[in-house]
A and B are shown apart, each in its own frame.
Chain A
Amino acid sequence: MQTFRLTSTGRNILRPDELAFQPREEIPYKSFHPDLQIDEPLEILEGDHTQYAGLRDSLVTYKSENSYVLKALLNAKIENVKPVGVQTENINPQEKKFGYKTAKQLDWSPDEYFKFVAIHPYSKTSFPVSYDLDELDTMWLTYYNEFQLSSNSEWENVSKEFLEIVLTIIEREWLYLEAWMPKIEPVRVEDELDGRCVICNEAECENSNAIVFCDNCNTSVHQNCYGIPFVPEGQWFCKKCLLAPHEVICCAFCPDRDGAFCTTLDGRWCHTICAIAIPEISFHDTSRLDLVRNIASIPKSRWKLVCCICKLRWGTCVQCSDKNCYAAYHITCARRAGFFYKIYSHSASYDSVDMETYCDKHTPPDYLNGLMKRLFPLAELYYKRMATDVPLNFQATKAPDFVPEGPWKSHPLPAFIVDKVTKVLLSYNVKRQDLPSIVTDICKFYHMKRRSRKDAPLLKSQLLMDSLENLPVRASKDRVRSLEVAKALQDQYQSLLTLVESTAKRQLLKCQLSNLRKKFLNLNYFPAQRLLQDTLVKIIDLDVDGLFNMPLDNGWIGWVELKRQVFSYQIGSISSLEKKLEPIWDVDGVIQCIDDMEQLTAMVQFAQKTEGEVKKLFIKAKIYFESLSLDERGNLKVPSLGINGLEYDNWPGLNELEMSQLDIPSQGNLKSLHDFIEGLDLNEKIGKFPISMFQNQVAQFSTIEIPKMSGRANGMHNFHSEDVTGQSNHALPNSVTKKNGTKQPYTKNSLPFNERITRSKAKKNYS
């Protein structure tokens, strides 16, 4: 509909050049007479009209006759031809009753209007034949009769009418059987993009441009987008499912494995959408949109673009239509990620295409109701997985030369149909000696014919369609039983699902439990460990510049190594840690090791500055350590808390059943356990040690039983060995076993710093 621009006065401006394409009758009157009131009576003038001096035609600006010129009307070219002769006299009366025309005329009385009453299609004595033989059927019948006659001289020819009758019945019975068959469709994950054309991403379709679904992979495409001149009556398959239904193929221009494919002139696979979107290439076969050509003319720069969605170096990308945006992506990736794209083609063959597409930043936020937000991460995940699943390779882009037999399904007719047809024929009094064998042969013919028609039905009849609607439900015993089975199976499947869920839940709880137990054991058997770690971290934090990171010749092993040793349980007591730190305070040693004056000054200054502080830390730690109540083996004393005590706590979600399987602890146990858990450091590093070491350790304290430890511990072992590589076979260091190591007296260097420096320098000079 034409739109008219309004000026400031409100009057429409009519532009003849715009209106020339539209007849006056198709434009609403408001465009011409905006102030006309249709309910107001209009005065009628006849003859003179002196009171209206300025009267003129109401339609000044628009002359309908001039503006809209009718094209020359078509003249129909009609010739008379001889009507088709119809002879029904010679038909066998046995067969003639099946609706073959008799000379009966229409009862036409001038006063009685016809009323259409749908007749019951299948009465007991006859039914209307609806199948009409074509050339193929007639030829086959001729050859069939000849063939039978050659082997059997008494063969009675099968008539055309007989074939028509039998084919009608077969079609009917087959249709009924299909209608009765339960519809089983594979469950698909419903997606917002489902049902949209995979090429133009539009869901709308019209009569002449329908969306067609592949009967194998369910890919949906518009007729015009994929080049389907005619939608077949039977099944339809996309090119991929026709040529290589079971193979994993690759598009030559993008990494996507799904979608509507076509082939290139040099025999490779390619998405139709890729061929449309990449401006350099075009279709050779323009009506079927196949045979992509001009691939060589794609510039190298396009091949080099890296897609921002899949991040794969494969194929050619397009770029965002925003002037200042250089984002590149494959068009199929863009569809998967919900980016905006629209194809404007100037011709049906997609020779010259304008394409508008926007990247994630420039896609309008309301495009597809903001679907991009959800689809974009999914698309990234898809390509990430695909890259590892089945990597892209050039071999897979090759389209097969040899075309295997099509995937059209057609089922040979079962004995049921043959029996049924024979029975129906007999019930209509069609008698023949060799009826079953003829019916079987016609059934075979039906099968072959249907296969050659890609499983399209042979007959399209209103009567059949009507009778299908009133088809009784065939509730046989078998079906009822099958339903029972299906229901039982569904129930069991449900309970299986519940079981799997609760198992997963239990395992999660068990995992948490063993983590806790690990922490507890850690604390129990290595009471000083956490103290050591905390103290060391505090000391390392003092060395902000990392002066002592590296090992020195005077015995200093460096922060990194020291930290590793502490965290891998190689240092068992506070005093041994103190001992390890001693080389730092040993200024002379440091001086001898370091050449760089500046660094040396910094290091010595650091040592002097922090010595006191570190000492304080150690004293604090020792006091704290002594405050812990240890038993005679140096383990932490936990009042009557067995290892099993850690099995419970009020875990959320732990059900009654699970609880009952565990021993119930006393209130005191629970409380002390609770206190312990409260006091635990959640540092992940705790307990990360090879379990073999742990077991050695345990073996020494043979009086303590550790039940069910090995099984779970193995898991921890694996977990650990990833972190501390090369440590798993390490022998347990001595320091751990020497729990009650003697306290090392703290030696303090009394010489002032400057003096020491000068002395050591002098030493160096001499040497």
Chain B
Amino acid sequence: MPATILKSTASSKTLLIIKFDTNSSRYPFYKKHLLELNSESTFLGLLTKGQADTSITRLNQDDVRLFEKAKTVADRTKDVAYSFSDPILSTQLRTPPPQPTSIRYLYFGTYRIKPWYTSPYPEEYSCAKNLYICESCLKYMNSDHVLQRHKMKCSWSYPPGDEIYRDKNISIFEVDGQRQPIYCQNLCLLAKMFLHSKMLYYDVEPFLFYVLTEFDGQECKVIGYFSKEKRSASDYNVSCILTLPIYQRRGYGVFLIDFSYLLTQVEGKLGSPEKPLSDLGLVTYRSYWKMRVAKALLEITTPISINAIAKSTSMVCDDVISTLESLSVFKYDPLKKKYVLQLKRDELENVYKAWNIKHPQRVNPKLLRWTPYLGEEQISNLLLKENILIPLPQKRLLDNSHHLDSV
């Protein structure tokens, strides 16, 4: 035995202490490599001793002095001098330190916006007085100095995804949360400042982001976006939707909603926004649904089921029924226990026309160049449908028992 185990203690981090037999022929081999392997000084054996040498970067007094000097000057420009997440702060002070304040202003391109809600940015940024966001890549910064440095090299002129729709200068990009997590996280963090109930910030992988942009002659600027689960268990076609405050009340929200239903239509599904909706979202959706259902009702002449209306509008039945109610079309006769649709065509026409006047910007399905997102499962289903894959015959459990009976 060239090595013997001396002891292992649970309390310390050392698991084993190995004592080598110095008379063993393999001792030099062990000594040279194993001890080096286990030491941090060579980066766990990744580097040679010469490579891992840190003597030339060892700090001397001048280095530390320069750094401290720069740090004190730089800290003076900041609002907060200490770190709020420092857990020993209160123990040191023996009194509660002041509460962290939230971001006062958001600088986004040429705009200064007062955020409505707090967003879970990292501490450095959450506690800063102002937050600066690059309108091209959505990187967040806590000082205009950094922004200036950043602007010198940010070369993004459109979101990091594929353009799937373009109508004049309006474009929609599909960004995959798995391929561009940082961009999507930044987008979510930005959106949280204007949304009350939003739970998604960092786990963006299972989502697709549809970013609406406007081309201003130089780059495609973000107007709004909606996110959509790649695979939704409950017919949700929108999980989060936002128009940036700068562009609000210009019909972009409705445009995004219309677009989301277009995607659902192409997929051949029924869709509904993820609930609960924000106040603004509810108002927008209500008016959109009314228009959508009114249009569908104007086209019908024969008795029609709720399901058929849902299919023609790509809306789920729940949404269809609630919209029929609010249009006062959906009636009930308690004597005959029967539901009927009572149409007043002129009223419906008014609803449809009024909406169209208010929202001139419409989605043109012809301009969409898009194939639905396919997961592995869907691809295999597709292959099965096309008879490319032949399903395996399932074994019948009953066969055996029949056999036994006959015997």
Contacts and interface: CB of A to CB of B under 8 A. Distances in A.
Interface of A: 23-26, 28-29, 33, 35-46, 49, 52-59, 64, 70-71, 73-74, 76-88, 91, 98-101, 105-106, 108, 110, 113-116, 118, 128-130, 132-136, 138-140, 142-144, 147, 160, 164, 177, 180-182, 184, 186-187, 206-208, 227-233, 236-239, 242-243, 263, 265, 267, 284-288, 290-291, 399, 403, 411-416, 418-419, 440-441, 443-445, 447-449, 452, 460-462, 465, 474, 476, 478-479, 481-482, 485-486, 489, 492-493, 496
A412 B46 contact: no
Given A42-B341, A186-B15, A207-B199, A58 B331 contact: yes
B332 A290 contact: no
11 contacts: A28-B318, A44-B341, A55-B331, A57-B332, A80-B110, A100-B152, A136-B74, A414-B57, A415-B56, A444-B63, A492-B1
B147 A84 contact: yes
A52 B336 contact: yes
A440 B94 contact: no
A730 B185 CA distance: 86
A113 B163 contact: yes
A383 to B, nearest CB: 16
Interface-centre pick from B150, B202, B248, B331 (highest chain A CB count, 10 A): B331
A460 B181 CA distance: 11
Contacts of B67: 140, 445, 448-449
B350 interface: no
Nearest to A108: B215
A267 B88 CA distance: 12
A139 B70 CA distance: 5
A56 B1 contact: no
Contacts of B339: 33, 36, 42, 58
Given A76-B113, A177-B43, A286-B96, A414 B325 contact: no
Interface string B45-63: 1111011111111110011
A448 B90 contact: no
Given A147-B66, A181-B43, A496-B5, A56 B332 contact: yes
A160 B328 CA distance: 67
Interface in B163-186: 163-164, 166, 168, 171, 173, 179-183
Nearest to A86: B151
Given A44-B304, A482-B45, A147 B33 contact: no
Contacts of B48: 478
Interface in B258-294: 275-277, 279-280, 282-283, 285-286
A135 B199 contact: no
A184 B52 CA distance: 18
Interface stretch (B114-122, B352-360, B393-401): B114-122
A85 B245 contact: no
Interface residues of B, number: 159
A412 B57 contact: yes
A129 B152 CA distance: 10
A418 B155 CA distance: 29
A229 B57 contact: no
Nearest to B306: A38
Given A55-B340, A207-B120, A288 B305 contact: no
B226 interface: no
A25 B88 contact: no
Contacts of B330: 57-59
B334 A54 contact: yes
B378 interface: no
B199 A59 contact: no
A133 B110 CA distance: 22
A70 B53 CA distance: 66
A71 B180 contact: no
Chain A interface helix/strand/loop/mixed: loop
Interface in B138-171: 141, 143-155, 157-164, 166, 168, 171
B389 interface: no
Contacts, number: 415
Given A136-B71, A143-B66, A444-B57, A106 B45 contact: no
Given A33-B321, A45-B342, A52-B333, A485 B34 contact: yes
B91 A239 contact: yes
Interface in B190-243: 194, 199-203, 215, 218-220
Given A132-B150, A135-B143, A114 B158 contact: yes
Given A41-B308, A64-B326, 15 more contacts: A73-B283, A79-B112, A118-B179, A135-B143, A142-B70, A229-B123, A230-B122, A231-B122, A232-B83, A284-B90, A414-B51, A414-B52, A415-B54, A416-B47, A478-B46
Contacts of B1: 492, 496
A713 B340 CA distance: 104
B392 interface: no
Contact of B44 (A181, A286, A418): A181
Contact of A78 (B15, B113, B146): B113
B69 interface: yes
A267 B91 CA distance: 8
A265 B168 CA distance: 66
A237 B88 CA distance: 10
Given A58-B330, A78-B246, A135 B305 contact: no
Nearest to A412: B54
Given A181-B44, A485-B37, A45 B340 contact: yes
B304 A59 contact: no
B334 A56 contact: yes
Nearest to A64: B326
B255 interface: no
Nearest to A486: B37
Contacts of B215: 108
A764 B69 CA distance: 111
B122 A233 contact: yes
Contacts of A87: 152
B91 A403 contact: yes
Given A44-B300, A462-B183, A228 B87 contact: yes
A583 B304 CA distance: 119
B77 interface: yes
Contacts of B163: 113-115
A86 B148 contact: yes
Given A29-B318, A70-B283, A207-B203, A232 B332 contact: no
B34 A489 contact: yes
B112 A81 contact: yes
A115 B163 CA distance: 6
Contacts of A98: 153
A288 to B, nearest CB: 5
Contacts of B158: 106, 114, 116
B153 A128 contact: yes
Nearest to A208: B120
A414 B43 CA distance: 9
Given A54-B334, A239-B87, A114 B162 contact: yes
Contacts of A115: 162-163
A77 B283 contact: no
Interface in B69-113: 69-71, 73-74, 77-78, 83-85, 87-92, 94-97, 99-100, 107, 109-113
Nearest to B5: A496
Contacts of B276: 26
A665 to B, nearest CB: 34
A184 B44 contact: yes
Q: What are the 3 tightest A-B residue pairs by CB atom distance, in nearest-first order?
A: A76-B245, A230-B123, A285-B96
A393 to B, nearest CB: 18
Interface in B302-339: 302-308, 310, 317-319, 321-322, 325-326, 328, 330-339
B332 A86 contact: no
B342 A49 contact: yes
B3 A492 contact: yes
A528 to B, nearest CB: 51
Given A43-B340, A414-B54, A485-B34, A403 B88 contact: yes
Contact of A291 (B96, B122, B338): B96
